[in-house]
Amino acid sequence: MTAHSEGMVPRPLREADLSRVEGVFTDVDGTLTTGHRLRADTVRALERLSAAGLRVVLVSGRPAGWGEAWARQLPVDGVIVENGGLFFLRGARGLRKVYLEPPAERVENRKRLQREVSRVLKQVPGARLSVDSTYTEVDLAVDYNEEARLGDEGAARIESLLRARGVTAVRSSVHVNCWLGRFDKLSATKRFARVAWGEKLQPRDGRYVYVGDSFNDAPMFQAFGLGVGVANVRAVLDRIDAPPAFITRAAEGKGFEELARALLARRGRGALEE
């Protein structure tokens, strides 16, 4: 069921009640990045949010290796990666790493996942694993829009073939992420809140925002009353399972900066510089 068929068109960000927001969960590719790169102004937006006392957690399909680097180098409270397979959080004893699946299950799922993905890659001309799949631990990513150019049709075929083999497969703006296991971005976000803050996350209570841009953000958009899409989400609104409640004027990283300015203004901390 699609956003437009349900009449659920996102409202402008200016209509969102951000007065009670305590933290931001955010996608990375196409949400923080602009043209596949992280702009200095977007990093500054993260810094301003953190300095204002807002919790910031990245939620990405990217590999564990990326997540550890982000958690150590960016002004964030934690990083959820591999579409919820694991996360990193800052603690009294340094960086802590938490998996959503037990060790034996991860090992068996990984072996089977590699077999299934290998079979599917042979069926789609030009399909290949993303360069950074080397750094994954739980999921794998098939490149359709980063180094490769398979287009929507190629991505949809890959998703269909993987799902037929019992593999969870969902697109980000650059990859088809695929995994075996009972997790996704939403379940990992709930687990993160329990482990990091001792909180039972109730996304619709207005304390947390989720911002994203693509298909694999749908569970988060559905769960969060303050689900925000950066403007480039419009490209998938007619096909996404659940749309965001609100949408920014600007696309990609500038859309995130727009959200950051709105949050800071409502906290009386002043707006980010244009």
195/250 Cα distance (integer angstroms): 34
C-alpha–C-alpha distance, residues 117 and 155, integer Å: 13
In this structure, the answer to whether residues 129 and 169 fall within a common structural domain is: yes
82 and 27 belong to one structural domain? yes
| pTM (whole model) above 0.75 | yes
Give the percent of the chain with pLDDT over 90.
Answer: 86
Q: What is the mean pLDDT of residues 59-70?
A: 96
pLDDT value for 205: 84
Which of 128, 155, 179 corresponds to the end of one domain? 179
Provide mean pLDDT across the span 179-194.
95
Mean pLDDT over the full length of the chain? 92
Domain that holds residue 39: 11-100+185-266
Tell me the backbone φ, ψ of residue 86, rounded to 5 degrees: -165, 165
Q: Does residue 83 fall inside a structural domain?
A: yes
CATH label of the domain that carries residue 231 = 3.40.50.1000
Is the domain of 89 the same as that of 191?
yes
Last residue of a domain, one of 146, 179, 212: 179
Same domain assignment for residues 116 and 210: no
The answer to whether 64 and 106 are in contact (CB under 8 A) is no
* CB-CB contact of 117 with 133 (8 Å): no
46 and 162, same domain (yes or no):
no
Into how many domains does the chain fold? 2
Q: What band does 8 get if pLDDT is binned at 50, 70 and 90?
A: confident
How far apart (Å, rounded) are the C-alpha atoms in residues 13 and 120? 40
- The token duo for 189 is 């976000």
Q: Are residues 85 and 17 in the same domain?
A: yes
Look up the CATH number of the domain holding residue 142: 3.90.1070.10
Last residue of a domain, one of 163, 179, 195: 179
Q: 87 and 195 share a domain?
A: yes
Q: Give residue 7's pLDDT band: very low, low, confident or very high (50, 70, 90).
A: low
Sign of CA dihedral 113, 104, 96, 180: positive
Kindly provide the residue ranges of all beta strands, DSSP E only, lying in 125-204, ordered along the sequence.
Answer: 128-129, 140-143, 168-171, 175-179
